Every structure is written in structure tokens, then in C-alpha cells.
Amino acid sequence: MICVHEYPLSIVDHAGFRKFCGTLQPMFKVSRNTIRLDIINMFGVQKNIMVKYFAKCENRVAITTDLWTAGHQKRGYMAVTGHYVDASWNLKSFLMRFVYVPCPHNAEVICEALHACLVEWHLEKKISTVTLDNCTSNDKAMEILPDKLDTSSLMLQGSLLHMRCAAHILNLIVKDGLDVMEKGIERVRDSVAFWSTTPKRHEKFEKMARLLNNEYTCRLALDCKTRWNSTYIMLKGALQYKDVFERLSIREKKFTCPTGEDWVFAKEVCARLKVFFDVTELLSGTSYVTASLFFPQICGIRLAIRK
């Protein structure tokens, strides 16, 4: 239950949880340490099952990995995920490793952490590709990794080993484009910020939407400037309530409504961001086999365009 729902281990100390368990079985006792050990043991059992499965399986495994720094801890972590297609053409994915990676996060450290994971799972001779974000340290790490592997076991001697994350490439393209167009949408962003800053203003905005028979289905949401997809969601919502902003500008002296040119520009930007947004969702899909994007008749698998 704790693993499936991602509850904190501290739930076992909560008064309500203890009362619930005591009602079912007064003799049942549990602690954080017990739960932690149980989870580690569960992982060990499942890991052994997967290792034995791949020892007999002839399929290759595609690897995706990412490394990031936790903001509150200032510590680097790496997640390594394996993906494979079973005999029934079902895409399977499993988290192989979630591990702390000490600084510095250079190519050698990244490569060593990734290689250690592959060896631990006995997959160093069964990988097909490794997909990472586009950065210099990742590129250099993938130049080093083949030297640690048996290249004769790789597809085309490892020439296809390094795959660049298409979603990350799109992300870089859009962010560069938005940097140029930032001033054009600033007044729309300021308007959203004005009416979503306080609960009182937000209630006033929602009330005006109802008065104008504009169904308030999409709550105003200010974007995060470092996440372009949040900018798309913000613009999409703001355009939906253009008439509400304009009517409120008549009643609220402190509020300056975007000009007609601002709205036209915002609409153009939103239309272009939608293309990237939809493609990114497609590339991030988890319920289809990648090959089915190109060979739907051969694979005989229905595409799930969205998650």
C-alpha cells in the first residue's frame, strides 16, 4: 500500500493509521524501520526475478536515464529505467536504479554510475540504446561508455548506442524561441498575475466570467518562466477569458488590460506552442511501443496519442 500510493514511511506513526490497524488486528505492530526493511527486501526479491528473466530472455533493453539536483537537499540523483518489448509485443518499463551521485557530475562520474547499474543488472551485453538529455557531460559520458562495454554485443558495433532525448530537444528549441518573444506576452502574464494573486481578486474574476456567460472551466494559472509548457497553459486559459479581462479593466482602475495587439500576438504564440505541446505529449507517451509510430500495420498495436 505504501509503495503503490507513494505514502511516506511516517504514515505508520500516524494515530489514525495505528487506530485503523489496531481495530483490524490488535496484535499487529509496525515501525518505520520494519517497513523500510520490508520494502528493501521486496525490491531485492523483484530484482532477482527480473535478473533471472533477462538471463533467459533474448530481447534487448533500451535504457533511459536522467540526473538532476534536488533543490532542498542540493544533492544529485540519477534514475535509470529499462524498457523492453515482451513476447506479446507489450511495452514494459521498470526502474532499475534511483541513486545518489556525488559531485562533480562530470562525464566520468555519470558514465561510472550508469555502467555500474548495467553490470548490477547483468544487462551490459543486452542493451540496445541509451537515451539522455542533451548536454556536454552526457555526450562525453556516452563517448566513454562503449570502452567499458563489449562493442561486439551492441547493435552495429555501438553506433546506435547514444540516443538524444527528442522531447528535450524540443524543449530547448521552444525555450530559445520564447526568450525572443518574452516581451510580447508580458502584459498577458501581468494580467493573469493580477487576477490570480489573491483569493478575493480571483473570486471577482470568476464572478465576472459567470456574468458574461463564460463558463469558468479552466482556472487562471500563472506560468513558470523556465517551463514553456506552463506558458502555453497560461496563454490558452487567458485567451479563453479575453472578454472577462476587458470587462474588468473598465471596473478596476488598478488593472491595465492587454491591448488588441497583445491578444493577437498571444493567440499566435499559443497556436505555435500547441504544436510543440502535442508533439511532446506524443513523445512522452507510455502506453505504446515506439516502433508502432512508424510500423502500425506490422506491429498491430493501437497508438495511444495521449497518456
End-to-end CA distance of the chain: 24
The torsion angle over the Cα atoms of residues 202, 203, 209 and 215, rounded to 10 degrees, is 100
Q: Could you give the 3-state DSSP secondary structure of residue 162?
A: strand
Model confidence pLDDT, tens digit, residues 187-211: 999 999 999 989 999 999 999 999 9
Confidence class for position 287, pLDDT limits 50, 70, 90: low
Q: Are 185 and 236 in contact (CB under 8 A)?
A: no
pLDDT of 113: 92
Mean pLDDT of 162-180: 86
pLDDT of 68: 82
Confidence class for position 273, pLDDT limits 50, 70, 90: very high
Residue with cell 505492530: 29
Provide DSSP, 52-95.
HHHHH----EEEEEEEEEETTTTEEEEEEEEEEE-TTS-EEEEE
Q: Could you tell me which of 256, 100, 232, 258 has the C-alpha nearest to residue 171?
A: 232
Does pLDDT of 305 surpass 50? Answer: no
Largest interatomic CA distance in the chain? 73
Mean pLDDT of 149-177: 87
Does pLDDT of 50 surpass 80? Answer: yes
Does pLDDT of 171 surpass 50? Answer: yes
Mean pLDDT of 214-237: 88
Alpha helices, H only, the chain: 2-5, 15-24, 32-56, 107-120, 136-148, 166-181, 186-196, 199-211, 228-240, 242-251, 260-283, 296-299
CATH fold, domain 58-164, is Nucleotidyltransferase; domain 5 (3.30.420)
Report the run of H or E that residue 97 belongs to, with start and end: strand 91-100
pLDDT of 134: 85
pLDDT of 71: 66
Confidence class for position 133, pLDDT limits 50, 70, 90: confident
pLDDT of 179: 84
Does pLDDT of 80 surpass 90? Answer: yes
Residue 14 has what DSSP assignment? -
Does pLDDT of 289 surpass 60? Answer: no
Confidence class for position 286, pLDDT limits 50, 70, 90: low
Mean pLDDT of 137-143: 91
- Going from N- to C-terminal start, the domains of the chain cover 1-56, 58-164, 167-306
Confidence class for position 225, pLDDT limits 50, 70, 90: confident
- Cα torsion 174, 274, 305, 4: sign: positive
Residue with cell 508580458: 186
Q: What is the mean pLDDT of the chain?
A: 86
